[in-house]
Structure 1
Amino acid sequence: MPACRKLIVSAVLLAAQVAAHAAEPLLVRIGLADALTGPLSHFGKDDENGARMAIDELNARGVTIGARKARFELLVEDDASEPRIATTVAQKLVDAKVNAVIGHETSGTSIPASRIYFDAGIPQISTSATSPKYTEQGFSTTFRTVNNDKQLGRALGRYAGKNMGVKRLALIDDRTAYGQGVATEFLKGFQEAGGTVVAREFTNDKATEFSAILTKIRAARPDMVFFGGMTPVAAPMLRQMKLLGMGSVRFMGGDGICTDEMTSLAQGAMGEGQVMCAGSGGVEDAQQAGLQRFRAAYRKRYGIDSLIYSPYVYDSVMTLAAAMEKAGSAQPARYLRVLAKIEHQGITGAIAFDQHGDIRNGTLTLYTFRNGQRASVGVIR
């Protein structure tokens, strides 16, 4: 065969191979690392539900990345809210060559896992880890779509002192990275508002007995108890407060107690409006329509109401996809810089990150519980 003909045949074959490759869907794997077992599993399942809604919508839409149609796949791993398991899960997702990770759920799991993702160059977005340490490590791969504890805790502390008229505060935290962080920052905001701390006690995130510390607190006559921790500890604490005659003392916490699970676990111990909490993030009036559509679609699909973080998980998946589209690549090294500078309008609001990977100009939503239901009080910044 003449040399020129060989060249023509080779060129035709190469073109055919390129065309065939371009016609194949680009597989984009999004990892979700969350607590699917254990006391926080209701949050984890909610996160998974939100992620699957986003993945299915992207696939139905037919997203194109770098001239190739993308097919998104969700890889879900359970870290059971345990730091040791979280690092194992992180390595498993890295070995699976995921293009990005959503998670982990808590600060205690997100922080140790973040080093593994950074070493692999894989972007990680947490929708619920609020410890400042998470983004203070200087990792270029680390992002979050909710306020950190400094922002949330201080805003709550100022609100308690200035808007609720609290003068005498008792502070309890569960000694976790999250619990300590939010309680410490709440204290700073509360003291800025001129309040006084009359008692400070500690427990742990597995505790169910609080009579000793609550008896000490009762003697200090606080106007409010602030708890840095999660619902499974806060609810029995409220039950024991009521048994000790503290049912009229106001109770406040961060996003860790801001779930409808509080109602069932407290077993009637919550007084009307007694409990106040806040969720990092918040949708202002102009964006309520989009969030309501998400909630309606969630209920139609799963038969239950969405919790706090599933809209942020949904938005995080969509933000990652937007960065990949804009960069023309799903390879982390290619789209990471685009992600760091992204401006994406999500159902929870505008998503853009500062130089540390924290959400810019984030909001907080204040809630209380009335008639056994979590009710919004308002959105603050």
Structure 2
Amino acid sequence: MTKPTHKTLTCDVLIVGGGPAGLATAQTLAPHAKTIVIHQDREIGKPVRTSGGTWVEDMEALGVPSHLYQQIDEILFRSDNRKVRQHLERRKCAVLDITGTYQWLAGLAHEAGADIYTDTKFLHTVETDDGFISEIRSRSIDATRIESQFIIDASGTPHAVLADLGLVDKPDRVGVGIEHEFEIKSADKNRAVLFVGQAVKSGYGWIFPAPNNHIRIGVGIIQPVSNLSPRDIYNAVVTPEFLESYGLELGPPVQVNAGIIPSVPYDPKLVFGNVIRVGDTANFATPTVGEGIRIAIKFGRILGERLSETLTQGCRSPLVRYELECRKALKRNYGFGFTANERIATYDADDWDKSLDRLARLDEDEVVSLVKSEFTLSMMIKAVGKQVRHKLFG
């Protein structure tokens, strides 16, 4: 790509953030509007900031190539004194090659016509009569400013654009996680583990087999509910005895991944004039286990389509539709999910044991819906009925 020699770039839409939400938006937007994506890291998908847990059905629907994820056939839930195994017959779990997936998304966006500049940091923006003038600092381009009609904030938890304009506050409650990625010597590559209990209070831990014969072991907590460091928890929990109890034999370490996601109630306000948010900036990660890549891609593509319609039709009703589509799909489920998040963040070991006892009475669809924060009315009635019958008849 040829370096621009001028100091100011111009476009219809500036997208701040080259994660899955920003790249997916660029993919459907770029054929209809001049689109620039800026990303602060030197490379798309590195460093890794998420564990990559997702679902095969969603990846197939989104067109993600199968070589970019490891299929999971069983989830083992484990508390201090309980184990629950959920075999997945139809609704398979998956773990993504994060770097590969993000770079695949970047390739689609670039093919669609988007200009993607890495090693480029958003600094500040000013709204003018014609749009925005955004200051940037970049090692990959000579420009120091970008003029745009719209800005999409896909920067994640920092809310870089929205916070700079004073439109929203940065989240004061966040999920903070750290994981170590290893090559595998010996492990069940089709089994994921979610572990909870006293050692990871206000959060949970995971063991995720990943593509390329890798495995990720991590812990995440809610801050400020907990004042502990995920790194300290990880070091205390992941011992030789811990690895042996799961039948794991690790090869050489590959990398350490760490990330932060918002853990606050869903806010349906996504459009602020000509500034729009998507992905983690819009709190799209599920409140139950904090997975949101599938949601970021899906609604990023929808945002790209709706903003394209706004630009070509000269009316704002498509952006209203974007807000409504997101609200319809997420608000109710995330309301239930966040209530559960607040509750389990205070669980002790005994609470978790009882929770796994209840989990053991659910079927595959109910377990998957619970983890995905998809609380359909029929599923909730069915699950409550099972708990009532258990209390009445044992």
TM-score bracket, normalised by the shorter chain, equals under 0.3
Of the two structures, which has the highest relative contact order with CA contacts closer than 8 Å and spacing of 6 or more?
Answer: 2
If each structure's helix is expressed as a fraction of its own residues, which one has the higher value?
Answer: 1
Could you tell me the TM-score, scaled by structure 1's length?
A: 0.26
Larger radius of gyration: 1
Q: Which has the higher strand share?
A: 2
